[in-house]
Amino acid sequence: MSRNSDNKETQCIHAGNTVDKATGAVMPPIHPSSTFENPEFGKPGEYIYSRGGNPTRAALERCAAELEGGVRGFAYGSGMAAVAAVVDLLPANAHVIVPKEVYGGTFRLLDDVRARSAGIQTSFVDFSDPANVVAAGRDNTALVWFESPTNPLLSVYDIAAVAGIAHDMGALAAVDNTFATPINQRPLELGCDIVMHSTTKYMGGHSDVIGGLNIVADESLGEKLAAVSAVTGGIAGPFDAYLTLRGIKTLALRMERHQRNALAVAEWLEQQPRVQRVIYPGLASHPQHELARRQMDSGFGAVVSFEIDGDRAAVATFMNKLGYFAIAEGLGGVESLVGHPYTMSHSRVPDERKAELGLTDNLIRLSVGIEHVDDLLADLDQALS
């Protein structure tokens, strides 16, 4: 029987997987070899040198391409290396449009590093009204890049509408799909050219590997990205590629539990007198809830942000009292984490900019794990009381 199921649970396990011809191993072997013997002079084999291609990395890249509905995947040593490879597709002095609250690493890459090294110009725009993206267009706009949902305020943007606007400008449309995962949302099917992941988060899923992915919708873009990626060399090593591939096997299963827990936590938080505001796209109170329901077909992710009554001292007391939620950067692993974006992930963002984004000092971000929900709610309850 052919293995071409449309079901994500099945795809997570079988996508791109080929039984190893040499041994019959059902999981792709880890190939640490940096180079591969030519069968004959002038006739290289399928693999030549691991910066350009490696069988373990290729297994992850095939899997990712299939999960996202793309033609080709590229695996990198971090999410930021994946973002950088996309920016390296652009001509010098190109203009890029991103949301005001774009992920901090992407902000610094565009606004500082590539502004300096490649003259990249960036406009930071409120994507909640797609007309603002249209208005920001310039003759040299070459890329519209965005996340949905965003970090940590979980805004949801209309991917199909923004992709259409980018194409009308002659620009590429790229989505950072880290928070949603392909289980919930497949931007290439909504018209985007590139989808990117920090696989450090849900794809890897166990907080034990840093990695990134780009998946492209068409072959010619794939050729260009292959050339950039092989030369700049930010590729995933075979051990890391293997760990990510292993994580993806249970992605659908994990997301189901992550999201069930996150919804229960968000609904519970909404009932607490000490909680002023809960932000989760799965709540009817979320400003883009209807869009999220249309765009995200299996759930709303597992990051929940909320504002507590009180100042930073109250936030610190609450976070220090938590038992299961560890105070840590990052998200998307099986264990629950808690962060204070103001002083942690967004500490380098100037205070005025944080105020403009609505990122307050009493905002707390939860990455809801897959523990039993009763334990998570009991932990939050004792810490709030």
Ligand X SMILES: Cc1ncc(COP(=O)(O)O)c(C=O)c1O
Residues in the site for ligand X, rule: CB under 6 A?
78-80, 103, 105, 147, 151, 176, 178, 198, 200, 210, 212
Q: Active site includes 240? A: no
State the catalytic residue, choosing from 8, 72, 88, 103.
Answer: 103
| Residue closer to ligand X, measured from CB, 151 or 295 | 151
| Residue closer to ligand X, measured from CB, 322 or 337 | 337
Minimum distance of ligand X from residue 210's CB (angstroms): 5
The one-letter amino acid at 33: S
Q: For residue 113, what are the CA distances in angstroms to 85, 88, 90, 272, 384?
A: 13, 12, 14, 43, 41
Distance CA 203, CA 186 (A): 14
| Residue closer to ligand X, measured from CB, 103 or 306 | 103
| Residue closer to ligand X, measured from CB, 87 or 383 | 87
State the catalytic residue, choosing from 51, 260, 321, 353.
Answer: 51
- Token pair, residue 120, equals 């990249």
C-alpha triplet 81, 192, 183: angle, nearest 5° = 80
| Residue closer to ligand X, measured from CB, 66 or 176 | 176
| Residue closer to ligand X, measured from CB, 111 or 375 | 111
Residue with the closest Cβ to ligand X?
Answer: 79
The strand pair at 326-327 and 303-308 is best described as unpaired
- Backbone φ, ψ for residue 37 (5° rounding): -70, 135
Minimum distance of ligand X from residue 126's CB (angstroms): 18
Dihedral angle of Cα 256, 209, 66, 157, to the nearest 10 degrees: 60
Minimum distance of ligand X from residue 212's CB (angstroms): 5
Q: Active site includes 103? A: yes
Residue environment code for 23-38, b if the CB has 16+ CB neighbours within 10 A, otherwise e: eeeeebebbeeeebee
Q: In what order do the strands lie in the sheet with 121-125?
A: 72-76, 212-216, 194-198, 172-176, 141-147, 95-99, 121-125
Minimum distance of ligand X from residue 150's CB (angstroms): 8
Nearest to residue 31, comparing CAs of 4, 9, 58, 5? 58
Q: Active site includes 176? A: yes
**Helix/strand/coil for 354:** helix
State the catalytic residue, choosing from 57, 114, 186, 201.
Answer: 201
Nearest to residue 166, comparing CAs of 97, 73, 65? 97
Under 8 Å between Cβ of 379 and 324: yes
Minimum distance of ligand X from residue 330's CB (angstroms): 6
Q: Active site includes 51? A: yes
Minimum distance of ligand X from residue 174's CB (angstroms): 12
Beta-carbon contacts of residue 6 (< 8 Å; ≥ 6 apart): none
State the catalytic residue, choosing from 76, 114, 158, 176.
Answer: 176
Residues serving a catalytic function are 51, 103, 176, 201
